[in-house]
Amino acid sequence: MLTKGKPGVLEVNVNLGTEQEPDVSSFTFPTTFRAISGANSGGQPLFGRAEQAIIHGSEGLNYANDVVASEESDDLPEIVRWSTDGVTLKPNARNVSNAVSAQGLDESIPNPDGISDWLWQWGQFMDHDLTEVPQHGNASAFDISVTTESDPFFVQIEAESIGTANELEAPGWITLARSEFEPGTQEPLNEISGLVDAGTVYGNTEARLAELMAEDALGDDGTGRLATSEAANGSPLLPLNSNGFCNGPSADGGPDSDLLPFFFLGGDIRAQEQLNLAVIHTLWVREHNYWADIIRASDDDLTGAEVFEMTRTIIQAEIQHIHYTEFLPIFVGAHNIPAYDGYNPEARPDADNVATGCAYRGGHTFISNSFPRTDDSGNDDPIMLRDGFFQPQEIFTHGLNPYLRGLSTQTCQAGDPLFVFDLRNLLLNGLDDLFARNIERGRDHGLPPLNVIRESLGLAPHTSFDDFQEPFGAALSRVYASVDDVECFSGMMSEVVESGSQFGDSQGLAIANQWLAIRDGDEFYYENILTGDLLAQIQGTTLADVIERNADTPGSITVPGSAFFASDVRDTLPLMSEEALLAKFGPREVAVEIA
């Protein structure tokens, strides 16, 4: 079992005052700061830098599409569509999703360890510090077909949405573009740095950073602050994207919406992809400004640029500390996260294909279908996941407090292959399925079957469908002819969850290997560069501290213990009734029965 902190307790309308302000006069800051592109400054300047190919981290792993590595070619790598017998096609990704991942419309399977929604929200925020693979600009779609037989609900709704007369005859599609591949290496391209460098807060280019800074941030009298906008309750939010910087929701991040100027601008282009993601982005901008004000006030001689870099050093260190000591031991088990042993110039802090193309996407299973929003008077106004994609106005209206309370009190979903309804059917304002996407993306990136990956991780291959979680082994056997055909994503998600972890052995190990390489190969990792009182300050910081000191008003939120464990004040929230959903989205999906 996991060692749990005291569960967070929901408290509203109490003013406990703020914690004592830290004394920064005894802090010793490093004299060199990380480049905004994330590059290391020492012997390995390319390691971890933005705009590089995703790597094949696992030794000796043969990729299905390794055939294409011509220096001259910028063709996309071929997708291998055959099963291990070389004759049978791999199963349709939506059919695999229907077989193993279909969670009911109003079904909630709370995490048995009582872990809070912060688990997945932290996980996604950190993914957006690690990878952003753009989609290929030309006609390179490899849509997933959806058949009327297996998916009457999905096909009918899709047909209605495009105005097709003969609804049930119409083919359904989940549209998907190929990943962008780096010419020459033919590996998927990563736009952002692989390092834990708070790219979500500062971006990875000078231009984006300049846009994110407050107007008077730099210079001798500068504040060192980040720019903000204002919620209806007067609390600071992310700045607006008034100058048309690259931003979601369009596939290529470019402007394609009249609403764009009213969208937030974050370090990462996906900042408002869903509501709680915008919340955690905002939390860290507030945390930056909290420290910038303290450092500014501590010494009149500092320039704005010095205040900014010292603050950025603290923010990167806090995020690293929370990630490696609070989050990962819960996510993949403390047994997979050995203590830090110093900078290793051989370790490559870059996104790895098995981890980001598959294993780390396992965080999707913990996502809840509805977000509680409890205001300062204790009234709840929950919102469904499907209603919060790219909806910044919901943050302007409510501020952060209702979301911060929801994340800290609601139990997340269990570690199994099941994805909540909205993720598997109504993703990103359309009919879309994230489980099917993850499978198809694995094919796009040339990932070999699970058993090949297991061997590369030093684990024994599975020999039977009985090796998987009940009843998902049986479900896999209905779509894959042989256990050797089971793919990376569907297979890892179905493995038996290890004690002390949220995943099976191969998924936990692949995720841990990714983050350990990033930690050990980073010259600027906080335990490598900080000492004395500053190091002690970081080591004493928890996610709960960051939440409490950045609430909309001082003292309005308390999170005793670890924010990653949910309060038992309220386990489940009233979901929208099935009747209301049917009225809105049509008949209930007919999931393939699991034998």
Binding site for ligand HEM (CB under 6 A): 120, 123-124, 127, 131-133, 176, 273-274, 356, 360-361, 363-364, 367, 428, 434, 437, 441
Say if residue 507 is exposed, middle or buried (CB neighbours under 10 Å; 0-12, 13-18, 19+): buried
How far apart, in whole angstroms, are the C-alpha atoms of residue 119 and residue 425?
22
CB of 120 to ligand HEM, least distance (A): 4
CB of 223 to ligand HEM, least distance (A): 33
| 8 Å CB contact between 232 and 238 | no
CB of 27 to ligand HEM, least distance (A): 32
CB within 8 Å of 583: residues ≥ 6 apart: none
CB of 128 to ligand HEM, least distance (A): 8
Task: Identify which of residues 22 and 402 has a Cβ nearer to ligand HEM in the complex.
Answer: 402
| 8 Å CB contact between 32 and 41 | yes
How far apart, in whole angstroms, are the C-alpha atoms of residue 565 and residue 5?
7
Task: Identify which of residues 273 and 498 has a Cβ nearer to ligand HEM in the complex.
Answer: 273
Task: Identify which of residues 140 and 164 has a Cβ nearer to ligand HEM in the complex.
Answer: 140
CB of 540 to ligand HEM, least distance (A): 26
How far apart, in whole angstroms, are the C-alpha atoms of residue 269 and residue 254?
10
Q: Closest by alpha carbon to 367, among 119, 166, 36?
A: 119
| 8 Å CB contact between 223 and 292 | yes
- Angle between helix 93-100 and 472-479 (nearest 10): 160
Q: Closest by alpha carbon to 131, among 48, 36, 247, 35?
A: 48
Q: Closest by alpha carbon to 427, among 415, 436, 439?
A: 436
CB of 166 to ligand HEM, least distance (A): 30
Q: Closest by alpha carbon to 192, among 201, 183, 313?
A: 201
CB of 308 to ligand HEM, least distance (A): 28
Tokens 């692989």 belong to which residue? 194
How far apart, in whole angstroms, are the C-alpha atoms of residue 491 and residue 477?
11
Task: Identify which of residues 54 and 302 has a Cβ nearer to ligand HEM in the complex.
Answer: 54
| Residue of closest CB approach to ligand HEM | 363
Task: Identify which of residues 50 and 534 has a Cβ nearer to ligand HEM in the complex.
Answer: 50
CB of 389 to ligand HEM, least distance (A): 7
Task: Identify which of residues 445 and 454 has a Cβ nearer to ligand HEM in the complex.
Answer: 445
Task: Identify which of residues 291 and 360 has a Cβ nearer to ligand HEM in the complex.
Answer: 360
Task: Identify which of residues 111 and 124 has a Cβ nearer to ligand HEM in the complex.
Answer: 124
Task: Identify which of residues 308 and 390 has a Cβ nearer to ligand HEM in the complex.
Answer: 390
E strands, 76-220, in order: 144-146, 172-174, 181-182, 187-190
How far apart, in whole angstroms, are the C-alpha atoms of residue 124 and residue 128?
6
Task: Identify which of residues 245 and 327 has a Cβ nearer to ligand HEM in the complex.
Answer: 327
| Angstrom distances, CA of residue 398 to CA of 36, 141, 148, 383 | 32, 38, 41, 12
CB of 445 to ligand HEM, least distance (A): 9
CB of 442 to ligand HEM, least distance (A): 9
